[in-house]
Structure 1
């Protein structure tokens, strides 16, 4: 690459004009943010990064069993005399 890799957000115009460089930078340096009018609107990641991040790790039950709940135990109480909402299925 002729220019230094972006570490900040790419503008939409830069991303469009230099798409190949954006893709190479995402592959070699990690996720790249694209911004419009100074606000982030998208992130470009390599396929390898995407596959790694979307992989499911464990079950919901495992997550809940190991999730921190803070200093206090979670106590769930049902309101006595509360109405049960009917739901059409």
Structure 2
């Protein structure tokens, strides 16, 4: 939603509530888009300030594999595909 600056100042708590429930609220000054009020959660998501997941959490979040994909993984060759490198 767009808010004129004076309206946003007079209804700041409403602007903040709507930012939390409806998404970012745009504030205009003399008809020009000037600022955006958004929830803290949305801001954190945009700037990447979310809590970091552990390696285990990333693994557990991996989508479940279908039976066909699991069969391909389990039946692949166990030997290396390239010869070892002599160093």
Q: Which residue of 2 aligns with 1:31?
A: 24
* Matched residues, number: 49
1:35 CA drift (Å):
0.0
Query: Unaligned 5+ residue runs, structure 2?
Result: 50-87
Q: Greater share of helix residues, 1 or 2?
A: 2
Query: Unaligned 5+ residue runs, structure 1?
Result: 1-6, 57-89
1:49 CA drift (Å):
0.2
Q: Does residue 44 of the first structure (1) align with residue 41 of the second (2)?
A: no
Q: Under a length normalisation based on structure 1, what TM-score does the superposition of the two structures give? A: 0.53
**Alpha-carbon deviations, 1:64-86, whole Å to 9, x = none?**
xxxxxxxxxxxxxxxxxxxxxxx
Q: Which residue of 1 aligns with 2:9?
A: 16
Q: How does 1:59-78 map to 2 (within 5 A)?
A: none
Structure whose CA Rg is larger:
2
Segments of 4+ moved more than 4 angstroms:
none
